[in-house]
Chain A
Amino acid sequence: AAGVIQSPRHLIKEKRETATLKCYPIPRHDTVYWYQQGPGQDPQFLISFYEKMQSDKGSIPDRFSAQQFSDYHSELNMSSLELGDSALYFCASSLVDSSTTGAKNIQYFGAGTRLSVL
C-alpha cells in the first residue's frame, strides 16, 4: 500500500538560505500535518491543512510557511534558515472518517526529511 512520501530525504543548507520540503499524502487522504523534531527532542507540531485550508497552527516560526495544493500534496517553505532549524521534519496525512460517530483521525507518518543547516 502507498505510504506518505517526503522529499528530499536529506537536505543540507547554509544559514540564511531557503529550503522547500515536500509531502505527498496517502492517496485520498485530505489532511496533512507537519512536525519538527530537533536532536534529542520530541516532535513539535507545526501546522496542518485540511482540504487545502490551514486547519491548525502550532509552533511554526514566522520564517516558515506551508500550503496544500489541489492534488493534496503539501510544501513547507523555510526561509532565512538558522542553525537551530536543523531537525527531522515529519509529514503525516489522514482522512477524516465519517463512517462512525466521533470521526477518527489516524495520522500516518512519512519517513521524514533530515535538514542540516551549516
Chain B
Amino acid sequence: KNEVEQSPQNLTAQEGEFITINCSYSVGISALHWLQQHPGGGIVSLFMLSSGKKKHGRLIATINIQEKHSSLHITASHPRDSAVYICAVRYNNDMRFGAGTRLTVKP
C-alpha cells in the first residue's frame, strides 16, 4: 500500500465546476504539499500545509492531521487549470509523493 494515496486518478470537469482532489497518507508527517504540473512544464508548489486551511485565489487546501487527510479544492474551474495535481508529504526528512490526479477542464 502506498504511503500517499490520491483520488481520483483522473478527473474531467466542465468549466465553472467546483473541483475536489483528495489525499490520504499513512505516516506521521511534518508538512504536506500540493503541487501542480502542466504538460511539458515544471512543477509548481501550490501550498504547503501543516495544519488548517489555506486559500490562494480560486484554490483552497485543507488538512486534517488527526484523520491524515488533505483536500485541494478549485472553485470556478477553468480550462487553464488542466494539469496533474500531486500530493506530497514530508516525514523523516524525506518526501513521499502521491501518484497524481490528472485534471481536465473542458470549456
Contact = CB atoms under 8 A, between A and B. Distances in A.
Contact of A103 (B33, B50, B66): B50
B30 interface: yes
Nearest to A50: B48
**Mostly helix, strand, loop or mixed at chain B's interface?**
strand
Contacts of A116: none
A96 B30 CA distance: 6
B45 A96 contact: no
Nearest to A52: B45
Interface string B47-58: 110110010100
Interface residues of A, number: 17
A67 to B, nearest CB: 12
A51 B88 CA distance: 13
B30 A55 contact: no
Nearest to A53: B45
Interface in B50-107: 50-51, 54, 56, 65-66, 90-91
Given A101-B66, A105-B50, A54 B28 contact: no
Nearest to B95: A51
A54 B90 contact: no
Contacts of B91: 98
Interface string A96-115: 11100111110000000000
B29 interface: yes
Interface of A: 31, 48, 50-51, 53-57, 96-98, 101-105
Given A51-B90, A54-B45, A102-B65, 14 more contacts: A50-B31, A50-B33, A50-B45, A50-B48, A53-B33, A55-B33, A56-B47, A57-B56, A96-B31, A98-B28, A101-B65, A102-B50, A103-B30, A103-B31
